[in-house]
Amino acid sequence: MEVWALEAYGAAYCLQELLTTKSDDVLGRIKVYESIVMGQNIPEPEFPKALKF
């Protein structure tokens, strides 16, 4: 629901930053790199640790 509210407000760049793989996410970067090299679909990004409760 919060994502929808931000989208309606026009905060697309904020959403992109929250919902994509980050440069400091070492495991996420490895997964993305391996999937690109193997020709597979890129996995969905995980939520940043700051957003996990």
Which pLDDT score is estimated for 34?
93
Q: DSSP label at 50?
A: G
- Give me 30's structure tokens: 């490895």
Q: Which residues contact 49 (CB under 8 A, 6 or more apart)?
A: none
Query: What backbone torsions phi and psi does residue 12 show, to the nearest 5 degrees?
Result: -65, -40
CA distance 21 to 28: 6
Which pLDDT score is estimated for 40?
93
Walk along the chain (53 residues) and give the pLDDT tens digit of each residue.
577 777 788 788 777 777 777 777 788 888 888 998 999 998 887 776 666 65
Which pLDDT score is estimated for 23?
72
Q: What spatial distance separates the first Cα and last Cα of the chain, rounded to whole Å? A: 17
